[in-house]
Protein backbone atom coordinates (compact mmCIF):
# COMPACT_ATOMS: atom_id res chain seq x y z
CA UNK A 1 0.00 0.00 0.00
CA UNK A 2 1.08 3.56 -0.63
CA UNK A 3 -0.69 6.90 -0.43
CA UNK A 4 -3.24 7.49 -3.17
CA UNK A 5 -4.54 10.79 -4.43
CA UNK A 6 -8.01 11.75 -3.13
CA UNK A 7 -10.75 11.37 -5.70
CA UNK A 8 -8.67 9.16 -7.98
CA UNK A 9 -10.09 5.65 -8.55
CA UNK A 10 -7.15 4.46 -10.66
CA UNK A 11 -3.89 5.96 -11.82
CA UNK A 12 -1.25 4.93 -14.35
CA UNK A 13 2.13 6.66 -14.36
CA UNK A 14 4.63 6.15 -17.20
CA UNK A 15 2.90 2.90 -18.08
CA UNK A 16 4.61 0.92 -20.84
CA UNK A 17 3.76 -2.50 -22.17
CA UNK A 18 5.95 -4.37 -24.64
CA UNK A 19 4.87 -7.66 -26.18
CA UNK A 20 7.39 -10.11 -27.65
CA UNK A 21 11.04 -9.45 -28.38
CA UNK A 22 13.38 -9.09 -31.35
CA UNK A 23 11.51 -9.13 -34.66
CA UNK A 24 8.16 -9.65 -32.96
CA UNK A 25 8.60 -6.83 -30.42
CA UNK A 26 5.53 -4.57 -30.21
CA UNK A 27 5.35 -1.48 -27.98
CA UNK A 28 1.63 -1.54 -27.17
CA UNK A 29 1.81 1.25 -24.55
CA UNK A 30 4.56 3.84 -24.50
CA UNK A 31 4.69 5.86 -21.26
CA UNK A 32 0.99 6.47 -20.60
CA UNK A 33 0.14 8.58 -17.54
CA UNK A 34 -3.54 9.01 -16.72
CA UNK A 35 -5.89 9.47 -13.77
CA UNK A 36 -9.38 7.99 -13.70
CA UNK A 37 -11.37 10.21 -11.35
CA UNK A 38 -14.00 8.86 -8.97
CA UNK A 39 -17.59 9.24 -10.12
CA UNK A 40 -16.56 9.91 -13.70
CA UNK A 41 -17.38 8.03 -16.92
CA UNK A 42 -14.31 7.88 -19.15
CA UNK A 43 -14.20 6.49 -22.69
CA UNK A 44 -10.97 5.36 -24.33
CA UNK A 45 -10.81 5.70 -28.12
CA UNK A 46 -8.30 5.52 -30.91
CA UNK A 47 -7.54 3.61 -34.11
CA UNK A 48 -7.49 -0.18 -34.03
CA UNK A 49 -4.22 -1.46 -32.55
CA UNK A 50 -3.45 1.82 -30.71
CA UNK A 51 -3.41 0.08 -27.31
CA UNK A 52 -6.92 0.65 -25.91
CA UNK A 53 -7.47 -2.94 -24.71
CA UNK A 54 -3.91 -3.20 -23.45
CA UNK A 55 -4.36 -0.05 -21.36
CA UNK A 56 -7.59 -1.37 -19.90
CA UNK A 57 -6.11 -4.80 -19.16
CA UNK A 58 -3.00 -3.33 -17.52
CA UNK A 59 -4.92 -0.88 -15.32
CA UNK A 60 -7.42 -3.60 -14.36
CA UNK A 61 -4.63 -5.96 -13.31
CA UNK A 62 -5.49 -8.48 -16.03
CA UNK A 63 -2.11 -8.12 -17.75
CA UNK A 64 1.39 -7.46 -16.43
CA UNK A 65 3.15 -4.18 -17.23
CA UNK A 66 6.69 -3.70 -18.59
CA UNK A 67 7.45 -0.45 -16.74
CA UNK A 68 5.78 2.39 -14.88
CA UNK A 69 3.15 1.98 -12.20
CA UNK A 70 -0.56 1.33 -11.83
CA UNK A 71 -2.67 1.97 -8.76
CA UNK A 72 -6.25 1.05 -7.98
CA UNK A 73 -7.17 3.54 -5.26
CA UNK A 74 -4.20 3.46 -2.92
CA UNK A 75 -3.00 0.01 -3.95
CA UNK A 76 0.07 -0.29 -6.17
CA UNK A 77 -0.57 -3.39 -8.30
CA UNK A 78 3.14 -4.28 -8.56
CA UNK A 79 3.24 -4.90 -4.81
CA UNK A 80 0.60 -7.65 -5.02
CA UNK A 81 1.16 -11.36 -5.45
CA UNK A 82 -1.07 -13.41 -7.78
CA UNK A 83 -3.55 -14.30 -5.07
CA UNK A 84 -3.84 -10.71 -3.79
CA UNK A 85 -4.27 -9.49 -7.37
CA UNK A 86 -7.06 -12.02 -7.95
CA UNK A 87 -8.78 -10.82 -4.79
CA UNK A 88 -8.38 -7.18 -5.74
CA UNK A 89 -9.98 -7.87 -9.13
CA UNK A 90 -12.78 -9.83 -7.48
CA UNK A 91 -13.52 -7.36 -4.68
CA UNK A 92 -12.70 -3.94 -6.09
CA UNK A 93 -13.13 -4.09 -9.86
CA UNK A 94 -16.20 -4.75 -12.00
CA UNK A 95 -15.95 -5.97 -15.59
CA UNK A 96 -18.33 -5.79 -18.54
CA UNK A 97 -17.14 -7.58 -21.68
CA UNK A 98 -18.33 -7.42 -25.27
CA UNK A 99 -19.27 -11.13 -25.12
CA UNK A 100 -21.36 -10.75 -21.90
CA UNK A 101 -19.53 -13.72 -20.25
CA UNK A 102 -22.56 -14.99 -18.32
CA UNK A 103 -22.77 -18.52 -16.95
CA UNK A 104 -25.42 -20.30 -19.08
CA UNK A 105 -26.73 -22.64 -16.38
CA UNK A 106 -27.36 -19.88 -13.84
CA UNK A 107 -30.40 -17.62 -13.75
CA UNK A 108 -30.06 -13.87 -14.27
CA UNK A 109 -30.21 -13.32 -10.51
CA UNK A 110 -27.60 -16.02 -9.84
CA UNK A 111 -25.33 -14.50 -12.48
CA UNK A 112 -25.72 -11.04 -10.93
CA UNK A 113 -24.80 -12.26 -7.44
CA UNK A 114 -22.17 -14.79 -8.59
CA UNK A 115 -19.07 -12.63 -7.84
CA UNK A 116 -20.38 -12.04 -4.32
CA UNK A 117 -21.26 -15.72 -3.88
CA UNK A 118 -17.75 -16.89 -4.73
CA UNK A 119 -16.35 -14.25 -2.39
CA UNK A 120 -18.54 -15.66 0.40
CA UNK A 121 -20.46 -12.39 0.66
CA UNK A 122 -24.19 -11.74 0.64
CA UNK A 123 -25.65 -8.98 -1.49
CA UNK A 124 -27.14 -6.02 0.36
CA UNK A 125 -30.85 -6.60 -0.50
CA UNK A 126 -31.71 -2.91 -0.86
CA UNK A 127 -28.72 -2.29 -3.13
CA UNK A 128 -29.48 -5.41 -5.20
CA UNK A 129 -33.07 -4.19 -5.67
CA UNK A 130 -31.88 -0.76 -6.73
CA UNK A 131 -29.38 -2.14 -9.24
CA UNK A 132 -31.85 -4.68 -10.67
CA UNK A 133 -34.60 -2.10 -11.08
CA UNK A 134 -32.18 0.46 -12.54
CA UNK A 135 -31.29 -1.95 -15.35
CA UNK A 136 -34.96 -3.00 -15.76
CA UNK A 137 -34.49 -6.69 -14.97
CA UNK A 138 -36.99 -7.14 -12.15
CA UNK A 139 -39.27 -9.35 -14.34
CA UNK A 140 -36.42 -11.43 -15.76
CA UNK A 141 -34.48 -12.59 -12.72
CA UNK A 142 -35.47 -16.29 -13.08
CA UNK A 143 -34.48 -16.47 -16.77
CA UNK A 144 -31.29 -18.11 -17.97
CA UNK A 145 -29.03 -16.22 -20.41
CA UNK A 146 -30.31 -18.32 -23.36
CA UNK A 147 -33.84 -17.03 -22.64
CA UNK A 148 -32.74 -13.39 -22.75
CA UNK A 149 -31.99 -11.02 -25.66
CA UNK A 150 -28.44 -9.75 -26.16
CA UNK A 151 -29.40 -6.41 -24.64
CA UNK A 152 -30.93 -8.09 -21.60
CA UNK A 153 -27.85 -10.30 -21.18
CA UNK A 154 -25.61 -7.25 -21.20
CA UNK A 155 -27.88 -5.61 -18.62
CA UNK A 156 -27.32 -8.68 -16.42
CA UNK A 157 -23.57 -8.20 -16.89
CA UNK A 158 -23.86 -4.49 -15.94
CA UNK A 159 -25.86 -5.40 -12.82
CA UNK A 160 -23.27 -8.09 -11.96
CA UNK A 161 -20.52 -5.47 -12.23
CA UNK A 162 -22.45 -2.99 -10.06
CA UNK A 163 -23.73 -5.24 -7.31
CA UNK A 164 -20.45 -5.54 -5.41
CA UNK A 165 -20.04 -1.71 -5.43
CA UNK A 166 -16.57 -1.93 -7.00
CA UNK A 167 -14.14 0.95 -6.86
CA UNK A 168 -14.09 1.02 -10.66
CA UNK A 169 -15.85 -0.72 -13.57
CA UNK A 170 -14.02 -1.50 -16.81
CA UNK A 171 -16.20 -2.06 -19.86
CA UNK A 172 -14.55 -3.44 -23.02
CA UNK A 173 -16.65 -2.61 -26.11
CA UNK A 174 -19.84 -3.25 -24.08
CA UNK A 175 -22.11 -2.42 -27.03
CA UNK A 176 -20.06 -4.29 -29.65
CA UNK A 177 -22.51 -7.23 -29.88
CA UNK A 178 -25.72 -5.20 -29.60
CA UNK A 179 -28.01 -3.45 -32.06
CA UNK A 180 -28.09 0.33 -31.73
CA UNK A 181 -31.22 0.46 -29.55
CA UNK A 182 -30.01 -2.18 -27.07
CA UNK A 183 -26.57 -0.56 -27.14
CA UNK A 184 -28.03 2.85 -26.30
CA UNK A 185 -29.91 1.30 -23.37
CA UNK A 186 -26.78 -0.33 -21.95
CA UNK A 187 -24.85 2.93 -22.32
CA UNK A 188 -27.71 4.71 -20.55
CA UNK A 189 -27.42 2.28 -17.62
CA UNK A 190 -23.66 2.76 -17.41
CA UNK A 191 -24.20 6.53 -17.41
CA UNK A 192 -26.96 6.26 -14.78
CA UNK A 193 -24.64 4.19 -12.58
CA UNK A 194 -22.20 7.12 -12.65
CA UNK A 195 -24.82 9.87 -12.20
CA UNK A 196 -27.10 8.16 -9.70
CA UNK A 197 -24.86 5.69 -7.89
CA UNK A 198 -21.55 7.58 -8.04
CA UNK A 199 -19.88 4.67 -9.83
CA UNK A 200 -16.58 5.15 -11.71
CA UNK A 201 -16.64 3.67 -15.24
CA UNK A 202 -13.89 3.30 -17.85
CA UNK A 203 -15.06 2.09 -21.26
CA UNK A 204 -13.07 1.06 -24.32
CA UNK A 205 -15.01 1.71 -27.51
CA UNK A 206 -14.50 2.45 -31.20
CA UNK A 207 -17.97 4.02 -31.53
CA UNK A 208 -18.16 7.84 -31.34
CA UNK A 209 -21.83 7.68 -30.31
CA UNK A 210 -20.93 5.40 -27.38
CA UNK A 211 -17.98 7.62 -26.43
CA UNK A 212 -20.28 10.67 -26.40
CA UNK A 213 -22.16 9.11 -23.45
CA UNK A 214 -19.02 9.53 -21.34
CA UNK A 215 -17.94 12.61 -19.36
CA UNK A 216 -14.50 12.49 -20.89
CA UNK A 217 -12.81 10.80 -23.85
CA UNK A 218 -9.14 9.84 -23.93
CA UNK A 219 -7.56 9.30 -27.34
CA UNK A 220 -4.68 6.91 -27.83
CA UNK A 221 -2.45 6.69 -30.88
CA UNK A 222 0.46 4.25 -31.26
CA UNK A 223 0.44 3.47 -27.54
CA UNK A 224 0.50 7.11 -26.45
CA UNK A 225 -2.15 9.31 -24.92
CA UNK A 226 -2.62 12.12 -27.43
CA UNK A 227 -5.83 13.88 -26.41
CA UNK A 228 -8.24 14.30 -23.52
CA UNK A 229 -11.71 15.67 -24.40
CA UNK A 230 -14.18 16.87 -21.77
CA UNK A 231 -17.96 16.86 -22.34
CA UNK A 232 -17.74 15.08 -25.70
CA UNK A 233 -20.36 15.05 -28.43
CA UNK A 234 -20.49 12.38 -31.14
CA UNK A 235 -19.60 15.05 -33.75
CA UNK A 236 -16.49 16.23 -31.89
CA UNK A 237 -15.34 12.67 -31.26
CA UNK A 238 -15.88 11.77 -34.93
CA UNK A 239 -13.93 14.87 -36.03
CA UNK A 240 -11.06 13.90 -33.73
CA UNK A 241 -11.04 10.36 -35.13
CA UNK A 242 -11.03 11.75 -38.71
CA UNK A 243 -7.97 13.81 -37.76
CA UNK A 244 -6.17 10.54 -36.93
CA UNK A 245 -6.92 9.24 -40.44
CA UNK A 246 -5.56 12.48 -41.93
CA UNK A 247 -2.39 12.21 -39.77
CA UNK A 248 -1.86 8.62 -40.93
CA UNK A 249 -2.20 9.69 -44.59
CA UNK A 250 0.36 12.49 -44.23
CA UNK A 251 3.01 10.45 -42.37
Residues whose CB falls within 8 Å of the CB of residue 246, separated by 6 or more in sequence, listed in order? none
Maximum separation of any 2 CA atoms in the chain, in Å: 57
Q: What is the DSSP letter of 63?
A: S
Residues whose CB falls within 8 Å of the CB of residue 210, separated by 6 or more in sequence, listed in order? 43, 174, 175, 183, 187, 203
**Nearest CA to 36 among 207, 212, 199, 231?**
199
Of residues 95 and 189, the one with the C-beta less far from ligand ADP: 95
**Nearest CA to 128 among 166, 103, 165?**
165
Of residues 66 and 107, the one with the C-beta less far from ligand ADP: 66
Instruction: Fill in the per-residue mask, 16 to 55: x = in contact with ligand ADP (CB under 6 A), - = not in contact.
Output: ---xx-----x-x-----------------x-xxxxxxx-
Instruction: Fill in the per-residue mask, 71 to 110: x = in contact with ligand ADP (CB under 6 A), - = not in contact.
Output: ----------------------------------------
140 binds ligand ADP (CB under 6 A): no
Of residues 27 and 106, the one with the C-beta less far from ligand ADP: 27
Question: Closest separation between CB of residue 237 and ligand ADP, Å?
Answer: 15
CB atoms < 10 A from the CB of 18, how many?
15
Of residues 141 and 226, the one with the C-beta less far from ligand ADP: 226
**Nearest CA to 171 among 152, 147, 155?**
155
Of residues 15 and 131, the one with the C-beta less far from ligand ADP: 15
At 203, is the secondary structure helix, strand, or coil? strand
Question: Closest separation between CB of residue 147 and ligand ADP, Å?
Answer: 32
Using CA atoms, how far residue 229 sits from 22, 63, 196, 197, 239, in Å, is 36, 27, 23, 23, 12
**Nearest CA to 135 among 157, 159, 171, 112?**
159
Question: Residues in the site for ligand ADP, rule: CB under 6 A?
Answer: 19-20, 26, 28, 46, 48-54
Amino acid sequence: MSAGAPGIAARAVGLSKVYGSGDTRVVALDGVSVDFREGEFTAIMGPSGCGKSTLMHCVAGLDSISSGSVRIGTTELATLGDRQLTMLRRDRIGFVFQAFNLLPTLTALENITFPLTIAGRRPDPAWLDRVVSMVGLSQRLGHRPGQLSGGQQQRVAVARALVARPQIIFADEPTGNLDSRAGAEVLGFLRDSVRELGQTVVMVTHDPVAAACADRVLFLSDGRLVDDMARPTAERVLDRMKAFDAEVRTT
